[in-house]
Structure 1
Amino acid sequence: MSTIQRYVLWEIIKIFLLCLGITVLLMTVGGGVNEGLKKGLPPGVILNMLPYFIPEMLRYTIPGCMLFAVCTVFGRMAASSEITAIKSAGINPMELMWPVLTLAYFLSFFTFWMYDACAAWSRPNLHRVVAESLDDTVYGVLRTQRNFKMSGFSVTVKSVQDRKLISPTFQVAATDSQPSIYLEVEEAELKTDPETGILQLMCRDGTVEFGDEGKFEFPDERVIYLDHLNSIELNEDSSTPANLTLKAIPRQIEREEGIVEEAQTDLAAMIQSEDPEAIDPEAIDTARNHLDHHQKRLFRLQAERQRRLSNGFGVFCFVCMGIPVAVWRKSSDNVSTFFTCFLPILLLYYPLLVIGEQTARDGHFGAAPVWIADAVLIAIGAILIWRVNRN
């Protein structure tokens, strides 16, 4: 690698890291802390959650920061006639571009890996932080919003006085170990057991309904253990594909294929019944809904890996657009050059990305549509680079 190539690459890396650091800091600390305080989360909980926001922010900020760095360096070089001087010396401008394109190529894979880091590390740990301080979190939110919802648990209150919840209504979803719970009481208090970490609901003078077991009234104090809220395991079988790791996706695809095949067989048996009187339209509708639900989840799972990869390669696509546009404009005003590049990306790339992802999730043409936006942007970028090198 020549001196000029190292110079360009180092300038790109410096500006990229500076821009990335500032952007992530503002979005994570500024946006995250501000939003957490607005929702009433305790400061300690917010600080513990901040590191786990970073991978979420990186996968959104890396493409834009890389585009800004490219526009800054190549725009400045073009404005000071350095690109013209390089051409006059018989050096093809592509010699300056390919190291940056190579960097963008590897950053694309890093961005792709960030999606797996979010699923495997960020979201489970965010869940753990909330679970470990669930009582403080619930109280903080209830003081500001009067209602709180989380993983099958919801509570609405009239008011909060110190640690007492006035006229609360609780709804707890059923688990393998306990039925669903619907509870209305005059007064209640939430407390985490210091030894087990299980959230306890201490309440009095109310009515509780345990699933199909009936409704019961109690005037005295009762303690209900909400142990399932403290589990940090995310259920793969019911989780959305975006929350799954790459390792878990093949298992889920295999599972959904089995469910879909079984559902299709059951539905066909219902429709083709020899006894017309035995056909139950309501049961057929239920079977169809069951089949549609799992078929849609299967399509989303099949497209998920390619969706993440295509989103990651947005970094490479942005750079393919940014380099020739910055050279063509010959302006040291990096902000205007950045927006000149970003506006067509905003109007063309992102709509195509949404359309492609939705088409793939609907099961049309497999996972190929998720690459439409990348293909269009790379094609435009390749034409512009060719014209820059030619002229």
Structure 2
Amino acid sequence: MTVRKACLVLPTHRECAATITAVAAEAAYATERFGVETVVLILDSTDPDTFARHAAAVTALPPGSTVVHLDEDAQRRFLRRVISRAATPKPELLLDLMLPGAVSYGACTNRAFLIAAALGCESVHRRDSDIEFQVHDGEPVFPIHHELASLGKPAGEAAAGVTRVELDPAHAGKPVVSVGASYIGAMSVDIDEMRQLDPEAYHDVVSLWAAEGTPEQELRELVAESFLGSGDDAFRADESTLCLVDPMRVDMGNISYYRVHEEIPLPPMTETIGSDYFLIHLVPDSRLPGVLHNRHVINKHTPDRKSDAAFHPYQLRFTKFFLSMLYLHPIYQRLGEEGERLLDERHRLRPGLVAAIVRESTTLDRAPNVRRLDQLDRTYRRLGGRYAEYADRLATVRDRLLAEAAQDMADYAVLIEAWSALVGAARAVGL
């Protein structure tokens, strides 16, 4: 009998030895509780000294832990083998999209998807380097408990293992392809300083991620709930709902996937907060079942985010997040309109249709993004200090950012079309 394999992924570009130890404990829990082989995959983009500290943390783990700890050189060698085996067009572009020279949350998770396939893992479970697990009755509250309980099961079967069912019976024969929750603690985007400095400026900035023309009341509701996760919803007892999961209720640091991550990758755009959330939208838009639970992780803001040196790069990622919305809002709308037409007769996603929808977005008028940049400039100058300094820097790169936002979607369409071949090649070459 083949043992089910799960890949517990921890991408990092910061020191996180304590998180490595905690995630390894979650993997051990999964193996003991569900009888699965759980591989901890650490994709490490840190400097050599930090990598060495992480390696020491791995060495110190209890016997029996299965950990794959890869620096970027090892990841690049793997990708070259995969891309060569896949024999797809534009191999150098694909390598750059999979391992760009700048921070890319989507690309890092895509690498995890391919490595999980190479390892023969059926599911992927993602955590972040700046999270902790809640503790209840002296025991850690591991999200993988709900993930492994439902992932891959037909929804009709998974219904027996949740506390609530809010899924149309018409979807009962489809597999549960995603299980997730959110976070408590610090905001997911580190902008609380702005909220404290000037609440109206905070509103003006955060509302930029809404679609143009959104009514003011909806804007205020959006701003009020954005980036706050589940607030102070500390764990008391398990709750889980079988449903089409609302993207606003889950976070990429507390998510798991079955099958869909091998059908559609994430946008590989660089220096863009939120670039790894595409599947969170695509799953419910295509009417695929998921489970929403309440084993929220604790989000932390590590000291490296607070430094002046980190401020400008972080604000750039925040700016590019807003610019990506010009394309993502229409894409999500189209995906929702297509609904089950996004699926084939086996309930698998149709990459060609998704790629076509993504590519169509590249022809959109960029005027709304010009207005977004104008609003950011005005608001940041009003805030003064290092915000005004960032506005000065932003003014020098506006045209480049506008062009990059459109190119990101064109590149994403290319990656979607190559993805099936890349996944097949990863399985073939192994790790």
**Fold shared, TM-score > 0.5 on shorter chain:** no
Instruction: Tell me which protein shows more helix as a share of its residues.
Output: 1
In the superposition, the TM-score normalised over structure 2's length comes to 0.23
Asked which structure has the greater CA Rg, the reply is 1
Report the TM-score when normalising by structure 1.
0.24
